[in-house]
Structure 1
Amino acid sequence: MKAVVCEAWGLPDTLKVKELQDLEPAPGQVVIDVQAAGVNFPDVLIVQGKYQFKPELPFVPGSEVAGIIRSVAADVTTFKAGDKVIAFVPTGGFGQQLLAPLQALIPMPPGMDFETAAAITLTYGTSYHAIVNRAKLENSENMLILGAAGGVGLAAIEIGKALGARIIACASSDEKLEVCRQHGADVLINYSKEDLREAVKAATGGKGPDVIYDPVGGEYTEPAFRSIAWGGRHLVVGFANGDIPKMPLNLTLLKGASLMGVFWGEFTKRDPKGNAANMRQLLQWLHEGKIKPHISGRYRLEEAPQALNDMASRRVTGKIVVLPQSDC
């Protein structure tokens, strides 16, 4: 089988596509023929050795996949060869085959396509955990989303609308904001053209947003928090900007507001039952048409480094996927 291999920490261009031995399942495992793999910002960091954990070199990057079970270990009775599944794993996704433990598997709902299935676990799982479990967003509250056209941003828009909130989407271009509007955003702010604080003040009648969803960090975090409503909740989701902001903590006192960390990967380990319940709700909303991943790019396995470069340079709206079995 072919796979993208990271042999040394570095930029995506250093990754190599190599021919590897076919995989065999150990007890409690299955082998999946990967049909689609989601590309996420953590993948960019992992290959550079800059993420929260460092896999042992060499490794195959990619964590979010959908495919068809190729084989199962002798002790596996809940899945069989031919079953269509979704899997979220630490590494291994950017290959034609993936070894996955049973606890990483979710049966694919009937009628779902592989690209959609590979685009729902991390971005929607992160956003649901942030908005529902952490911020406890309520009906009719205002939620401000920074970097709203990215994968987690669009997921946050749809989840917020499903909960009855009013969504203020912020992005760096009118083209990206149009995608946000199509996914349900009520107010659009182009922070490359507008003063963020003034625009937020106008959008909320001076009250400020009840919840801020921040996967970006950098220069917009502090002005967004300075605009937050009394008792508001600022969700620290990530730092796609590359800069971890240093915010004056007296602002939390003055606003009676909370900074709330969001680490979905750790949540899935500490509360697997809670994460499973979240995924059931997301799949139900997907069935009802309340959420739908926006897939803006598809890449062959050999193009995976380019996919990661596009993600790193913030040229991506919504989700992009690698198709390991595809030649087109």
Structure 2
Amino acid sequence: MRTARHPTTPEAPVKAWRVHTNGEPRDVMRLEDVPDPGPAPGEALIRVLAANVNFPDALLCRGQYQVRPPMPFTPGVETCAEILALGEGAEGTVGARVLAQPALPAGGFAERAVVDARTLLPAPESLDDAEAAALHVGYQTGWFGLHRRARIQSGETLLVHAAAGGVGSAAVQLGKAAGATVIGVVGGVDKAREAHENGCDVVIDRRAEDVIAAVKDATGGHGADVVYDPVGGDAYTQSTKCVAFEGRIVVVGFASGRIPSAALNHALVKNYTILGLHWGLYNTKDPAAVRACHDELTKLAAQGAIRPLVSERLPLTAAADAVQRVADGTTTGRLVVLPAQEGPR
């Protein structure tokens, strides 16, 4: 590993989206000139090649996320980047392509950022910049949810809510890679088509079908062994009514905006398990497990078993609109912002 110091000569300002007050992303995100960052000891200066849009970016803008960074802050928690320079004591290779999670308040919707060099992971060679940027959070969440929490087994049935979205599409691919039969729930004909193409064995359009009846019909009355729920609200209620005996419901998030209350008497009578998943805790509680998971995901990507579903690649100027569209639930797959280029790598 070779190291390099950041040049002491100041460079021109760089572009970054910043939030000065809470509200809807389209209203509060501003593209501004900011000083070119330099790495402190142990940090890496990165050039952002691609930044994936996540639902938490919208929650951060609204002030509804569990972490509230000081203002002004730059959203964007997941990037593929190139190492430009390294601070004193930081290990790495200048020029390497990496997965980086810039720490708030200086997130990844920017041309450059600084990150803790210890958190950098090699970008899989089998994925382009946009795909690599969309690999870390969604697929790590899916892998930990399905394998560490639900202990999914080959031959089981997996039910995925919002199966055409970024988080759901990752769970679909990971479920198929684990040997599960995957049922995807979506909202609309276009999203149903995306879910089918992404590998779902059965797709249920919640706008046109009774989800509970459709799951029972597809499983011969058995129900879903594992439910992956990033939606909450009505989706969670439906899950409790079509989960199998000894089934597991993995609670990933609440994209619906409504946090349901679990009826523990119902869990007792039907003999199912409710599992919470806060993937971010693994970064502090068990970072070795995160790196081991990355190795597994890299292998699966190389085998073609998983590939992030990138529906749009957008310029940096379109980031605020992209975050708003993800917040509104009108997108399929992943929207990825490309600060360093106009097209895929």
Q: Same fold (TM over 0.5)?
A: yes
Please tell me whether the aligned partners of residues 37 and 93 of structure 1 are also in contact (alpha carbons under 8 angstroms).
Answer: yes
In the TM superposition, what are the counterparts of 1:65-76 in structure 2 within 5 Å? 65-76=79-90
In the TM superposition, what are the counterparts of 1:253-264 in structure 2 within 5 Å? 253-264=268-279
Please tell me whether the aligned partners of residues 226 and 251 of structure 1 are also in contact (alpha carbons under 8 angstroms).
Answer: no
Q: Does 1:277 align with 2:292?
A: yes
Task: State the partner residue of 1:84.
Answer: 97
Q: Does 1:157 align with 2:167?
A: no
In the TM superposition, what are the counterparts of 1:209-220 in structure 2 within 5 Å? 209-220=224-235
CA pair 216-205 structure 1, distance change in 2 beyond 3 A: same
Task: State the partner residue of 2:74.
Answer: 60
Where 1:213 maps in the other structure, the secondary structure is strand
Please tell me whether the aligned partners of residues 62 and 90 of structure 1 are also in contact (alpha carbons under 8 angstroms).
Answer: no
- Letter paired with 1:16: R
Which shows bigger deviation, 238-247 or 159-168?
238-247
Task: State the partner residue of 2:145.
Answer: 130
- Letter paired with 1:15: M
> What is the rounded CA distance, in whole Å, between the counterparts of 2:294 and 2:126 in structure 1?
17
Where 2:224 maps in the other structure, the secondary structure is coil
Which shows bigger deviation, 87-96 or 97-106?
87-96
> What is the rounded CA distance, in whole Å, between the counterparts of 1:197 and 1:19 in structure 2?
51
Where 1:212 maps in the other structure, the secondary structure is strand
Q: Equivalent pairs: percent with the same residue? A: 38
> What is the rounded CA distance, in whole Å, between the counterparts of 2:38 and 2:224 in structure 1?
51
CA pair 146-309 structure 1, distance change in 2 beyond 3 A: same
* Structure 2: gaps of 5 or more residues: 1-13
Task: State the partner residue of 1:222.
Answer: 237
> What is the rounded CA distance, in whole Å, between the counterparts of 1:236 and 1:74 in structure 2?
41
Paired residue total: 327
Where 2:44 maps in the other structure, the secondary structure is strand
Q: Does 1:6 align with 2:19?
A: yes
Task: State the partner residue of 2:267.
Answer: 252
Where 2:72 maps in the other structure, the secondary structure is coil
CA pair 110-208 structure 1, distance change in 2 beyond 3 A: closer
> What is the rounded CA distance, in whole Å, between the counterparts of 1:88 and 1:189 in structure 2?
34
Task: State the partner residue of 2:304.
Answer: 289
1:194-228 CA distance string (max 9 Å, x none):
11111111011001100010001111211221111
- Letter paired with 2:144: H
Q: Shift of the alpha carbon at 1:251? A: 1.2
> What is the rounded CA distance, in whole Å, between the counterparts of 1:98 and 1:161 in structure 2?
35
Please tell me whether the aligned partners of residues 128 and 278 of structure 1 are also in contact (alpha carbons under 8 angstroms).
Answer: yes
Where 1:229 maps in the other structure, the secondary structure is strand
Q: Shift of the alpha carbon at 1:25? A: 0.5
Q: Shift of the alpha carbon at 1:117? A: 1.1
Q: Does 1:322 align with 2:337?
A: yes
1:226-253 CA distance string (max 9 Å, x none):
1111111001000111111223221101
> What is the rounded CA distance, in whole Å, between the counterparts of 1:203 and 1:127 in structure 2?
23
CA pair 285-19 structure 1, distance change in 2 beyond 3 A: same
Task: State the partner residue of 2:320.
Answer: 305
* Equivalent of residue 30 in structure 2, options 16, 21, 24: 16
CA RMSD of aligned residues (A): 1.2
TM-score, normalised via structure 2 length: 0.92
> What is the rounded CA distance, in whole Å, between the counterparts of 2:235 and 2:139 in structure 1?
23
Stretches of 4+ aligned residues off by more than 3 angstroms? 109-112
* Equivalent of residue 97 in structure 1, options 86, 109, 112: 112
CA pair 180-98 structure 1, distance change in 2 beyond 3 A: same
Please tell me whether the aligned partners of residues 17 and 74 of structure 2 are also in contact (alpha carbons under 8 angstroms).
Answer: yes
Q: Does 1:39 align with 2:53?
A: yes
Please tell me whether the aligned partners of residues 89 and 104 of structure 1 are also in contact (alpha carbons under 8 angstroms).
Answer: no
Where 1:98 maps in the other structure, the secondary structure is strand
1:16-58 CA distance string (max 9 Å, x none):
1110111110010010000100000011101111011111111
Q: Does 1:199 align with 2:214?
A: yes
1:136-195 CA distance string (max 9 Å, x none):
000100111111111111111110111100101110112112111112111111111111
Task: State the partner residue of 1:116.
Answer: 131
TM-score, normalised via structure 1 length: 0.97
